Amino acid sequence: MTEKKSPKIVMDSNGIERCLTRIAYEILEKNKGMDNLVLVGIRTGGIYLAERLQKKISAIEGREIPLGILDITLYRDDIAKSKKKAPLGKTNIPFDLTEKKVILVDDVLFTGRTIRAAMDALIDFGRPKMIQLAVLIDRGHRELPIRADYVGKNLPSSLWEAVSVNFLEKSGRDEVVIEEET
Amino acid sequence: MMKLGKKDILGIRDMSIAEINLILETAESFLEISTREIKKVPTLRGKSVINLFYEASTRTRTSFEIAGKRLSADTINISASTSSVVKGETLIDTARNLEAMNPDIIVIRHSAAGAPHLLASLLRQSIINAGDGAHEHPSQALLDMMTIKEKKGKIAGLKVALIGDILHSRVARSNIYGLTKMGAQVVVAGPATMMPRDINQMGVRAYTKLEDAIADADVVMMLRIQLERQKQNIFPSLREYAQHYCLNRTNIKLAKPDAIVMHPGPMNRGVEISPDIADDPGCSVILDQVNNGVAVRMALFYLLSGGNE
């Protein structure tokens, strides 16, 4: 048995801030402004990121971009296998998605299964013109044919490592941490 | 991760505060699905729910059925009048046959108290009690608590008055267990012939006069007067009952100005509740109860369904 390595901080609050600023500009550049653009954050990490992207995009464009919250628990593909249930959070998408360009926001892109569930959920809300994906970290190991349109940082990782994003709102500080799975 | 530590939902009496809170919070998240254009999520695809109803029911059976369908479960309804019960099959035989068809959840309503408990001990499926005799009706109490929490922001510390036939009411019993557990002050009122002998041991205060019970109440819950009970000589006439126990514009003034009025349905208008109160959107939350009922039952299906371990 090798000794367990201590958690390593791979991105600090300044790093996260710069990534989000860049992604905000990239979103506006790719979509030529914010017409018909909406943000949807995936519970829970994606909400914090989506809120910050909302502030940045709204500040750049001078008007508010709509923001929705999505809980994907009910769309998971492993829900029937486990008696244990993730606490079900509220979904709140207070606008029609039909013909909208949806920027789906999550913290870490890993197997792609969460994103598959999120896309199924979004389509139940209407027929978006387009769905794009923005993530802070892409750690690889995809199990489905899914890729992100906007990536904060590509972080090659091993399957036995855990990548977590801590947020000021929840943990008291912003940082991306990589550690060996316990 | 959260877990409901139960195979079955048989009553509120054996439920913990944590379990009640888990169910209510889960149900609150399910409310939104019924507001969507496509009112369906794929969560329970491939699961099947049997609604086995030995007593008449519109609201509860429909509510369980809609809840199952909105979660993509297959729901099958069996009512006593159209089943082999009329051919003389026993409850146990019916249940064993249903079990052999491998459903995941069986919802049962039966006129005999304890019928769901019997099934729960015999079958590996999850059993939900949808009303057993005069014993318990847990999903009704849960939707009532959800409605109170939604309208008042809390349950603890509120004064809740239950009025009517407490003795024969499974709704009253489940609500008394649940509301006292959640810290509400529960008072009841009804004719002496409709009051359980051991009412004081249930942690509630009992009155014979409606006015005494609803004074300063935050919540007034009217119970259905079961018309078939009239034959048992426990009350002389509907008219006399209404004179003493009908909630109306005058006596409701005794409750808090922002009091809410609840009724589990079906209502006898003009008997236990006057139509102008029942239809007053300012105080009546009767249709909110029905709406919350679907969400509560979705939460029960969701929390009960899982692997086959």
**pLDDT exceeds 60 at position B2:** no
Q: Is the pLDDT of residue B266 over 50?
A: yes
Name the one residue in this structure whose structure tokens are 């994003």: A165
- Residue B279 confidence (pLDDT): 96
**pLDDT tens-digit series, residues B244-264:** 999 999 999 999 999 999 999
Whole-number average pLDDT of chain B: 93
Cβ distance A83 to B307 less than 8 Å, yes or no, reads yes
pLDDT at residue B42 is higher than 80? yes
- Average pLDDT in chain A: 92
CB contact under 8 A, A85 and B42: no
Q: How many beta-carbon contacts under 8 Å exist across A and B?
A: 64
A95 interaction partners in chain B (CB closer than 8 Å): none
B306 pLDDT exceeds 70?
no
3-state secondary structure of A150: strand
Residue of A nearest to B104 (CA): A80
Cβ contact, residue pair A124, B46, below 8 Å: no
> How many angstroms separate the CA of residue A91 from the nearest CA in chain B?
7
Residue B167 pLDDT > 70? yes
Q: Which residue has the tokens 């006069």?
A: B209
pLDDT level of residue B308 (50, 70, 90 thresholds): very low
Please name the residues between 17 and 36 in chain B that touch chain A, using a CB distance below 8 Å: 25-26, 28-30, 32-33, 36
pLDDT, residue B4, reads 79
DSSP for B152-220, please give it.
HS--TT-EEEEES--TT-HHHHHHHHHHHHTT-EEEEE--GGGS-TTGGGGT-EEESSHHHHHTT-SEE
Complex prediction ipTM: 0.85
Instruction: Look at residue B158 and tell me whether its pLDDT is greater than 50.
Output: yes
- Residue in B closest to A117 by C-alpha: B42
pLDDT mean over B184-197: 95
Contact B1 A89 (CB under 8 A): no
Run of H or E residues at B48: strand B48-53
Instruction: Judge whether A180 and A164 are in contact, CB under 8 Å.
Output: no
Mean pLDDT, to the nearest integer, of B157-185? Answer: 97
- Higher-confidence residue of B106 and B306: namely B106
Chain A residues whose beta carbon lies within 8 Å of the beta carbon of residue B43: 74-75, 79
Radius of gyration of chain B (CA): 19
- Min CA distance, A135 vs chain B (Å)? 24
Confidence of residue B37 (pLDDT cuts 50, 70, 90): confident
pLDDT > 50? residue B107: yes
B222: enclosing H helix or E strand: strand B219-222
SS3 label, residue B53:
strand
Contacts of B29 in chain A (CB under 8 A): 71, 88-91
Give which of A71, A73, A74 to mutate to test B binding, by max B Cβ within 10 Å.
A74
B1, pLDDT greater than 60: no
Q: What is the mean pLDDT of residues B211-218?
A: 97
Q: Which pLDDT belongs to residue B307? A: 43
Structure confidence at residue A84 (pLDDT): 62
State the amino acid at position B149 in one-letter form. K
Give the Cα separation of B236 and B210 in Å (integer).
18
Q: State the average pLDDT over residues B66-75.
A: 96
pLDDT at A83 over 80: no
Contact yes or no for B41 and A91 at CB 8 A: no
CA distances from B94 to B55, B62, B108, B111, B163 (A): 15, 22, 12, 16, 37
Predicted local confidence at residue B237, as pLDDT: 87
List of residues 6+ apart from B219 with CB closer than 8 A: B148, B152, B158, B159, B160, B161, B184, B259, B260, B262
Nearest CB to B41; choose among A75, A81, A84: A75
The share of chain A scoring above pLDDT 70, in percent, equals: 93
Q: CB–CB of A136/A108 below 8 Å? A: yes
> Nearest C-alpha of chain B: how many angstroms from A57?
28
Whether residue B74 is predicted with pLDDT greater than 80 in this model: the reply is yes
Instruction: Specify the DSSP class assigned to residue A64.
Output: P
B295 touches chain A (CB under 8 A): no
Provide the pLDDT for residue B57. Answer: 87
pLDDT value of position B278 = 96
Query: What confidence tens digit (pLDDT) does each residue in A102-154 have?
Result: 999 999 999 999 999 999 999 999 999 999 999 999 999 999 999 999 999 99
Predicted pLDDT of residue A85: 64
State pLDDT tens for residues A160-179. Answer: 999 999 999 888 999 999 99
Task: Kindly report, residue by residue over A4-28, the tens digit of the pLDDT.
Answer: 668 899 999 999 999 999 999 999 9
- Between strands A175-180 and A8-11, the pairing is antiparallel
* Cβ neighbours of B307 in A, within 8 Å: 80-83
Q: Inter-chain contact B32–A90, Cβ cutoff 8 Å?
A: yes
Strand, coil or helix: what is B2?
Answer: strand
- Residues with Cβ within 8 Å of residue A27, at least 6 apart in sequence: A37, A53, A57, A103, A132, A134, A150
pLDDT higher than 90, residue A62: yes
Q: How far apart are the CA of B26 and the nearest CA of chain A, in angstroms?
A: 6
CB contact (8 A) between residue B2 and residue A84: yes
Contact A91 B309 (CB under 8 A): no
Calculate how close chain B gets to A69, using CA atoms only, in Å: 12
pLDDT, position B309: 36
Q: Do A124 and B40 touch (CB under 8 A)?
A: yes
Give A2's pLDDT tier (boundaries 50, 70, 90): low
